[in-house]
């Protein structure tokens, strides 16, 4: 049975008007002290759970203190849900232990694989979108949900290549996983942009295939561009500001489906906390503007003769 988390991340509505989006940042050791000292107005902190799979030490000391102030989101990068090999029982047990200890508001993993035959590649690798992949991924998502006793979110990957054997589009594949397992989506808009650009597809068409009720969280991050003789590939490096086209996708998405807990991700060359807080403010402003625009348009339509 899948149990929903008791408290999802939601910002209380300030006065009248639309409910603003809850916005958080990825938790980095470089920011532990500043977060505890300054307690900036963040709605949640997200962490890569594998970095906390240790017996003790400063990461847990700081995390325990921060958990008193902020809701947490646990994001996994190592379960290899899309891997043909069975999931690691040991890794699932470590997941369960940390979820029991910290009771995060959100829990997510990736539509990707990273391990094979005992080797771990520490990268999120793409799977072909076939019936075979679908049944393997669904079995793994169900296993994860059963071990954790709750619904999990799965994140759409950033892709630099596509397989000839794929028999369905990514969106079709993701929607089918939610239907079969009851999981929901973590919609990474930077990944949508990167993947659709790399595959010469249209991000707007991609997003229109996903109903709002399937999306429980949004990720925003920066990327870079690698140029080759015969073309360009966008690389999801999490090392830059969110790009303008991705902000536009965010505005469009919030206007279409409403606000969702939104994460600013920055994992490479992590900048000062102020830089992340500025991105958080920008996300709030863009979401608020998108929602205000929707509400103006709907009231104008309501009053139209």
Under rule CB under 8 A, residue 89 binds other proteins:
no
Q: At 215, list the tokens.
A: 């999306």
Under rule CB under 8 A, residue 86 binds other proteins:
no
Among 6, 14, 37, 56, binds other proteins (CB under 8 A): 56
Minimum CB separation of residue 198 from other proteins in Å reads 8
Among 119, 244, 302, 303, binds other proteins (CB under 8 A): 119
| CA separation for the pair 295, 6 (Å, rounded) | 29
Identity of the residue, 125 or 187, whose beta carbon is nearer to other proteins in the bound complex = 125
Minimum CB separation of residue 106 from other proteins in Å reads 20
**Spatial contact of 181 and 210, defined as CB atoms under 8 Å apart:** no
Phi, psi of 220 (to 5 degrees): -130, 135
**Spatial contact of 144 and 81, defined as CB atoms under 8 Å apart:** yes
Minimum CB separation of residue 229 from other proteins in Å reads 9
Under rule CB under 8 A, residue 74 binds other proteins:
no
DSSP state of 230: T
Token pair 């009771």 is found at: 103
Among 6, 37, 122, 300, binds other proteins (CB under 8 A): 122
| CA separation for the pair 154, 145 (Å, rounded) | 11
Minimum CB separation of residue 182 from other proteins in Å reads 23
Identity of the residue, 32 or 247, whose beta carbon is nearer to other proteins in the bound complex = 32
* Short-list 239, 285, 242, CA closest to 28: 239
DSSP state of 241: P
Under rule CB under 8 A, residue 269 binds other proteins:
no
| CA separation for the pair 295, 289 (Å, rounded) | 10
**Spatial contact of 77 and 28, defined as CB atoms under 8 Å apart:** no
Identity of the residue, 3 or 69, whose beta carbon is nearer to other proteins in the bound complex = 69
Under rule CB under 8 A, residue 68 binds other proteins:
no
Q: At 192, list the tokens.
A: 């949508």
Minimum CB separation of residue 114 from other proteins in Å reads 7
Under rule CB under 8 A, residue 233 binds other proteins:
yes
Q: Contact letters (x/-) for other proteins, 10-49, by CB under 8 A?
A: ----------------------------------------
139 exposure class (CB count in 10 Å sphere: 0-12, 13-18, 19+):
middle
The 3-state secondary structure of 260-279 reads: CCEEEECCCCCCCHHHHHHH
Among 55, 302, 304, 305, binds other proteins (CB under 8 A): 55
Token pair 């075979």 is found at: 132
Among 23, 25, 136, 220, binds other proteins (CB under 8 A): 136
Minimum CB separation of residue 57 from other proteins in Å reads 4
- The pairing of strands 224-228 and 45-48 is unpaired
* Binding footprint of other proteins on the chain (CB under 8 A): 50-51, 53-61, 77-80, 83-85, 88, 91, 113-123, 125, 127-128, 130, 132-133, 136, 160-165, 199-200, 226, 228, 230-231, 233, 235
């Amino acid at each position: 049975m899948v149990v929903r988390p008791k408290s999802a991340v939601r910002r209380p509505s300030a006065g009248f008007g639309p409910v603003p989006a809850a916005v958080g940042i990825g938790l980095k050791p470089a920011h532990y002290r500043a977060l505890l000292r300054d307690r900036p107005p963040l709605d949640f902190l997200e962490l890569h759970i594998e970095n906390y799979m240790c017996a003790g030490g400063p990461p847990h000391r700081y995390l325990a203190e921060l958990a008193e102030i902020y809701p947490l989101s646990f994001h996994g990068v190592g379960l290899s849900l899309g891997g043909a090999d069975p999931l690691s029982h040991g890794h699932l047990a470590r997941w369960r232990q940390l979820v029991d200890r910290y009771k995060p508001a959100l829990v997510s993993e990736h539509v990707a694989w990273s391990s094979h035959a005992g080797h771990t590649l520490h990268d999120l690798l793409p799977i072909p979108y076939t019936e075979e992949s679908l049944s393997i991924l669904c079995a793994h998502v169900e296993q994860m949900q059963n071990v954790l006793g709750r619904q999990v979110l799965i994140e759409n990957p950033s892709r630099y290549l596509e397989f000839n054997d794929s028999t369905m589009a990514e969106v079709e594949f993701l929607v089918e996983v939610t239907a079969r397992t009851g999981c929901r989506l973590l919609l990474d808009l930077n990944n949508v942009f990167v993947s659709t650009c790399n595959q010469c597809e249209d991000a707007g068409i991609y997003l229109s295939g996903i109903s709002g009720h399937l999306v429980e969280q949004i990720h925003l991050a920066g990327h870079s561009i690698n140029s080759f003789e015969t073309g360009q590939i966008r690389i999801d490096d999490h090392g830059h500001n969110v790009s303008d086209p991705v902000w536009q996708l965010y505005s469009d998405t919030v206007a279409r489906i409403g606000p969702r807990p939104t994460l600013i991700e920055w994992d490479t060359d992590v900048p000062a906390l102020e830089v992340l807080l500025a991105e958080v403010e920008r996300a709030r402003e863009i979401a608020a503007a998108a929602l205000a625009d929707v509400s103006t348009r709907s009231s104008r339509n309501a009053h139209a003769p």
